[in-house]
Structure 1
Amino acid sequence: MRIGYWWRLAATALLGLASMSQASETAEAGNLVYTSGSQGSALHLGTRLDINVQGLQAQVRVAQRFQNTSSEWVNAAYVYPLAEDSAVSGLKMLVGERVIVGEIKEKAEARKTFEAAKASGKKATLVEQQRPNLFRQEVANIAPGEIIEVHLVYSQQVIYDAGEFRLRLPTTLTPRYIPGVSRAELLGSASVHTGASGWSLPTDQVEDAHLITPAQHHNTPGRLLNPMSLNLALNAGMPLAKVNSATHKLAIEKPAGAAQGVRSIQFAAGEVSMDRDIELSWLPEPQAAPVAAQFVSQWQGERYAQLMLMPPRELAEHQVLPRELILIVDTSGSMAGNSIEQARASSLLALNQLTERDRFNVIFFSSSTHTVFEQAVAATPANLASARQAIERMRADGGTEMHSALSRAFDHDSSGEHLQQIVFVTDGSVGNESALLTLIHRCLGDARLFTVAIGSAPNRFFMRRAAEFGRGSFTEIATADQVQERMAGLLSKLQKPVVANVQIDWPQPVEAFPRTVPDLYWGEPILVTAKLPPWPSRSDARVVITGESAGKPWQRELVLSAGEAPLADVGVPVLAQRFGREKIAFLEDEAYRAGNSEQARDTVLPVALQYQLMSRFTSLVAVDKTPSRPAQVTAKDGAIANAMPAGSGMQAVGYPQTANGLLWHLLMGALALVGLLVLNSRGVVYVRTEFTAAAGRS
């Protein structure tokens, strides 16, 4: 780190230590605690997930209960993850018999409404998006002994890959690595001493670092940390051969008299800790495997459609080109534990698929980046042996400096005879996603970037979006048992795109996403979401998809149905919201490509308001009309801790249990100042050091 970082941190320490009170060190993990001298906590009683899966769409209702077990009024803050493609649209707060319904507002307006309600003693809740897969919820004015229940409604996409349908729901996060120089001036004045912020200060690269770094604790054997229950109704729309979960033990039943594709699913144990993603997968009967599917609905005089078409399964072996495989492996501290073992196994499998026609290199990164070879080399037995030895020796430690690793991969001189493919194996736990996506767009060239998300709680937003920007595909590995199967599927895709130069011909102009359809790989369908204007009465609503497969023309056709109008007073239908979510993602991507993520505001805001969706520029706020906190009483602020990902070897982060958090930074800054003064008095010139904080900078 640069010496300027230490001076800034030291200055923050001198300012902050004068006003900061000591936090309680005895609170239980998962509780809300205070840092203003009060003794007590607000308990997270639990989370209930009610999920309805219809075809390719899942509608999720999350109900979270909090009880103030202290003798004082409190305000709570809670950071939690959702799927990266979540279309968040509904919010309710239940207090006793009262139900307060939330509404979508422009972000600044929603914040103003919430703060006014908080100050006046009214019960209120605010949900803000920090990333497309990371949200922050605040609840104001919880009375002593009171229970508040907050309901959040969203929809997300079911994934179809290599014959398997898959639904993955995050429940916690891997602590983000926060690069850059700390900037304490970006913090609100109250955040330094109330403890409502995270364990990291904002930096010049991640200005909202304090909002995306919640406290996290390891689970205690035999106890539930942030308990969660599940009630999932699955209607696959086709006969099923198998329903399974690689992450949890499930109780799966087929209701009496139900169709063959219907299942009722709960956790076998009733409740589980929120310490890993939930992954549910189902396989159709072989004869029921889809070749094409369509989902159409009507809203406000227009049709919304989602199309899925499968590419051909044949692969002409003589068409397979020699490859140049650049393997990037994350060895940072956040990969400690099960993740590094999964990364090692995945990397070795990738090398085993190479032939002597291919070229390759391996890049390792943590706080610094190093390569096995200066440039890509032939995949000879000797070169492969050297790479395998390096992979066997790798250990997890240090920061997650992705920028230099990706830059190093893009700097490889590509041979015109080889198809350059970059395989990126990581948990994606960084806070500077925007800068990394801009880098991929600007520097990728003719290469293809394939991402492999490792661990029980990876940053799927960044990993999936990086693959889209890199014109590759996204693979996720949650457990060691999945390494062989999932990597085999990816390596099959790496051989050659099955369909290239894909074009979609609509019978008349429509607005559809993605705008540019990527190359199709084995087992991956075309998935397009569109808003369709009314068709002329004589027009044939036929969609034609064309491309090239094994050097020959490829074509599929699909005739769209009329779709059913939604029931009255049910709000925006799921397909319309899915279209809005895809349009927002496209507009955000355009801003990333331009290198200015804030320029999306003017285009994203009206779309989010039209389809009633959460976004970077809109929030959900619910306010009770009647003040409940006495005017003379002050509510204490605090934050609720998340669970550390299962299998992680990282140290727990934050100060709801250890009193670290910002205090850790302040103390380290004070020590840094003393050290710098000593070095300066001795005439020592400081050159460089690497610093990995136990509070989460790993």
Structure 2
Amino acid sequence: MVCRCGLLTVNKEPVPLKAIEVEVEVKDHVANVLSTLHYENKEDKAIEAVFVFPLSGDAAVCHFSAKIGQTEIVADVKEKQEAREEYDDALSSGQQAFLLEESEQTPDIFSLSVGSLPPGESASIRLEYVTELAVEADGGLRFCLPVVLNPRYQPQGSEGHSVQVTSVPASRVPYSLSFSARVSSPRRVSKVDSNFSLEPLQYLDKEQTHAAVKLAAGHTFDKDIELLIYYKDAHQPAVVVEAGKASAKPGTLMGDAAVMLSVYPEFSQAVMSSFTTKGEFVFLLDRSGSMAGDRINSARDTLLLLLKSLPMGCYFNIYSFGSSFEHIFPKSMEYSEKTMKKALKIVKEMKANLGGTEILQPLNHIYSQPCIPSQPRQLFVLTDGGVGNTKEVTTLVKKNSSSHRCFSFGIGQGASTALIYGLAKEGRGHAQFITGADRMQAKVMQSLEFALQPVVEDISVIWDLPKGVSVTHLSPPLTTLFQGQRSLIYAQLTGQSSEETDGSVMVNYSLAGHPFQSKLGFPLQPTEDTGLTIHRLGARTLIRSLESNEGEKDEEVTKKVVDVSIQSGVSSSFTAFIAINRDSTEAIRGPLLHRSVPGVGKSWSPYARSCGVVASYALHTPYQGASLQMQDMCCLSGRPTNGKRIEGHLKMKQRSIRSSTLGSLFHSRKAKSFSSKEIPVASSIQTTPDTLLQLVSLQNASGCWELNPDLAAALNKTRKEVEQPKPAKVNGNVWATILALVWLHGFKSDAEVEWKLLARKAVSWLLAQNAPCITECVLAGNTLLGCNVQKETLGL
């Protein structure tokens, strides 16, 4: 007997989505992704299906087409309201139509409406997008295919409402997923890792610069698919020139050549050693219900490491938020032993019990606090969710970007890429995602190291081009550079030279008072066929920059976004893809059945991970279903309604509210706070009793450790075993601190990124003591602990 689950048709058959195929082509550090969705209508009436799904917040959708039988329809990009009206008209006329649109509130959510699919008919939807690959701490390039869509929290007072998301266990999803990738680079492809099992990497050439990989058989479609791609000598600056579209008019974005500059700053050791000892460090922690379990435990451990690593003399505060927010101090306090211990005591008691995800309120409060003179503000945001007002949040961060830097962290599957990337981009900081077996501590501590780096100032990019060739920047001005982190700059090259064939670009900046200059030459002729990927990414960069302007509602800005979007074929919040089969020989008559597509998740929690799903209702007007559906999915489209649709909307909302007593958690500031026991969350972040954290918890704010029984226990020794080898002339705290450093280097070298900063503080404390017998202490410590750590390794 076949077990049916999720949403069923009137004939007890699964809903129409049958399979998803994804093909990825990675070229150096950008990717082109082609997804094909296969639908089949097994009912005796025409249906309308709606599929809501996530993409990376940096993705640029650049192609959309549909194939019904032997007929292929390629979608056009049009102004959003115009596209919606055409879709309405097509369905009213009985024509087959497809509408793809980006959410106006958050650019990482798209909705696909498959309208008027005839009985017994099949359809294949092809969706193509381009995206940049993020750089991980170990140098790998991260590609993520989001198949997880968490319900987005809708703050009180915002338009639209959230709706209970329907999901089914992963093992019972009635559609399949296939995934393959091809990788090419000027440098050798060293390896490709994934959070899924992969078939062996296949090299396609002798130089190993081209490779292919795909998912192994038997995978479960239950989480985001991640690839980590490693190249030999990947961190090299480069310039890639791409030819324009032959059919496009010269002088236009798509008709001219486009250029992509990748910048990898490498600062000298002397400059990097001058880490700042000042700053106001503000930590903003998500304590909504979905953070329960291992996530909140890991977050508490991370805050422990952060607080122990802060330099003496800085200022700090810790905020936490859910439906409401809290802060440890009324205002940021100077970092000392007293304030650190008070903060750690409160952190230890923190639980994921603050309800929803109201991030705007604490951000407003933080920005309302006056900045401390000579203490640059550094904001760290840790969250596992998403909100329905992403653009409002990132606009607030941008408005205050001159007074702080923002470092953001997305925790677990389904964290909003638009929110995480947007916070870091607008806040001139850095974004990281913590998924699978990743340790939160390592990634957050890497960003703290960025925050402690001297601020790069006076950044300029100067192009030296032949006479007759001019450059127009598509990227906003570069404002942030971090050691070893890549920055991409896009530009348009107009005109051509009859003589010279080479150009150059120079990046200037200053760091800690020292001027730096990096010059790179490049040929103006395209080096390879990149399939307009750089043009599309450049267009997306320009569109996002225009959309994030404070005058976003300005008609001129909107018109320019629409013009760039239509010209490049790249999606925006003001446009949509519309495809209509006008060659259909017979009009579809009668009411449409509305069907939605079930996704992956846990059916027992409103916080559970879900892939592109909304609840299903039987509706009786050609377009009413999709219209109501999108309004209810956390303000995903903001589509206008007429009087009849409003009446149907109200009835549906009453039915929705009655169906779920937990649904109000997503749109009520006064929602009940749930403890971790009340809301189970399937977190993939693992935490175990940690000897590293046990030792770290004993360090004083000044950087030293005290010689006491707690230290002995952390080193797995008795008090007598620890005290006996101490040289007579050496202070107990000096001896204890050297023991701790030897243990860290001897037993936890693989986690150095987590303790490097607090160890640096300990070394500074030791050097300030002018203590005798340091060499003797290091030798005795090695003997006691069974290590072989050199004095120079410790930095002494």
TM-score, scaled relative to structure 2: 0.71
Contact 1:48 1:64 in 2 (8 A): yes
- In structure 2, relative to structure 1, the CA distance for the partners of 1:281 and 1:631 (3 Å cut) is closer
Q: Does residue 361 of the first structure (1) align with residue 349 of the second (2)?
A: no
Residue in 2 aligned with 1:234?
183
Residue in 2 aligned with 1:561?
523
CA displacement at 1:409 relative to structure 2:
1.9
Matches within 5 A, 1:181-580: 181=157, 205-207=158-160, 209=161, 215-220=165-170, 222-224=171-173, 226-245=175-194, 247-255=195-203, 257-273=205-221, 275-285=222-232, 288-299=233-244, 300=248, 301=250, 302-314=256-268, 315-336=271-292, 339-397=295-353, 398-497=355-454, 499-507=456-464, 509-537=470-498, 541-564=503-526, 573-580=532-539
Q: How far apart, in 2, do the equivalents of 1:588 and 1:504 lie?
A: 23
Q: How far apart, in 2, do the equivalents of 1:365 and 1:464 lie?
A: 20
Q: Which amino acid aligns with 1:368?
A: S
Q: How far apart, in 1, do the equivalents of 2:652 and 2:312 lie?
A: 52
Contact 1:168 1:279 in 2 (8 A): yes
Q: Which amino acid aligns with 2:17?
A: H
* Percentage identity across paired residues of the two chains: 24
Q: 1:586-620: per-residue Cα shift (whole Å, max 9, x none)?
A: 11111xx2364776311101111111122122211
Q: How far apart, in 2, do the equivalents of 1:646 and 1:537 lie?
A: 66
Contact 2:46 2:588 in 1 (8 A): no
CA displacement at 1:521 relative to structure 2:
1.1
Q: 1:623-643: per-residue Cα shift (whole Å, max 9, x none)?
A: 223336665432212322333
Residue in 2 aligned with 1:691?
671
Q: How far apart, in 2, do the equivalents of 1:149 and 1:565 lie?
A: 34
RMSD (Å) for aligned C-alpha atoms: 3.4
Contact 2:464 2:503 in 1 (8 A): yes
Q: How far apart, in 1, do the equivalents of 2:60 and 2:235 lie?
A: 25
CA displacement at 1:375 relative to structure 2:
1.3
Q: 1:354-410: per-residue Cα shift (whole Å, max 9, x none)?
A: 132322111011111111111112333343233233333323241211111111222
Residue in 2 aligned with 1:17?
none
Match of 2:91 among 99, 118, 122: 118
Q: Does residue 171 of the first structure (1) align with residue 147 of the second (2)?
A: yes
Contact 2:56 2:146 in 1 (8 A): yes
Contact 1:51 1:232 in 2 (8 A): yes
Question: What are the ranges of 5 or more consecutive residues in structure 2 without an aligned counterpart?
Answer: 251-255, 619-628, 633-648, 661-667, 682-796
Q: 1:480-505: per-residue Cα shift (whole Å, max 9, x none)?
A: 42424322321221111463321111
Give the SS at the match of 1:234: strand
CA displacement at 1:337 relative to structure 2:
5.0
Q: Which amino acid aligns with 2:461?
A: I
Pick the structure with greater CA Rg.
Answer: 2
- In structure 2, relative to structure 1, the CA distance for the partners of 1:337 and 1:295 (3 Å cut) is farther
Instruction: State the structure with bigger RCO (CA 8 A, min sep 6), 1 or 2.
Output: 1
The structure richer in strand per residue is 1
Q: How far apart, in 1, do the equivalents of 2:173 and 2:132 lie?
A: 29
Contact 1:587 1:600 in 2 (8 A): yes
- In structure 2, relative to structure 1, the CA distance for the partners of 1:305 and 1:595 (3 Å cut) is closer
Contact 2:30 2:130 in 1 (8 A): yes
Residue in 2 aligned with 1:582?
541
CA displacement at 1:59 relative to structure 2:
0.8
Q: How far apart, in 2, do the equivalents of 1:336 and 1:65 lie?
A: 37
- In structure 2, relative to structure 1, the CA distance for the partners of 1:257 and 1:298 (3 Å cut) is closer
Question: What are the ranges of 5 or more consecutive residues in structure 1 without an aligned counterpart?
Answer: 1-25, 182-204, 673-687
Contact 2:134 2:142 in 1 (8 A): yes
Residue in 1 aligned with 2:115?
140
Q: Name whichever of 54-63 and 39-48 sits farther off.
A: 39-48
Contact 2:597 2:614 in 1 (8 A): no
- In structure 2, relative to structure 1, the CA distance for the partners of 1:487 and 1:236 (3 Å cut) is farther
- In structure 2, relative to structure 1, the CA distance for the partners of 1:584 and 1:319 (3 Å cut) is same
- In structure 2, relative to structure 1, the CA distance for the partners of 1:143 and 1:670 (3 Å cut) is closer
Q: How far apart, in 1, do the equivalents of 2:257 and 2:44 lie?
A: 54
Contact 2:99 2:578 in 1 (8 A): yes
CA displacement at 1:297 relative to structure 2:
0.9
Q: Name whichever of 104-113 and 133-142 sits farther off.
A: 104-113
Q: Name whichever of 431-440 and 606-615 sits farther off.
A: 431-440
- In structure 2, relative to structure 1, the CA distance for the partners of 1:248 and 1:151 (3 Å cut) is same
- In structure 2, relative to structure 1, the CA distance for the partners of 1:668 and 1:289 (3 Å cut) is closer
CA displacement at 1:464 relative to structure 2:
1.0
Contact 1:356 1:380 in 2 (8 A): yes
Q: How far apart, in 2, do the equivalents of 1:174 and 1:616 lie?
A: 20
- In structure 2, relative to structure 1, the CA distance for the partners of 1:338 and 1:621 (3 Å cut) is farther
- In structure 2, relative to structure 1, the CA distance for the partners of 1:216 and 1:502 (3 Å cut) is farther
Q: How far apart, in 2, do the equivalents of 1:655 and 1:127 lie?
A: 16
Q: Which amino acid aligns with 1:332?
A: S
Contact 2:356 2:669 in 1 (8 A): no
Q: How far apart, in 2, do the equivalents of 1:56 and 1:581 lie?
A: 16
Contact 1:57 1:158 in 2 (8 A): yes
CA displacement at 1:330 relative to structure 2:
0.8
Q: How far apart, in 1, do the equivalents of 2:424 and 2:603 lie?
A: 25
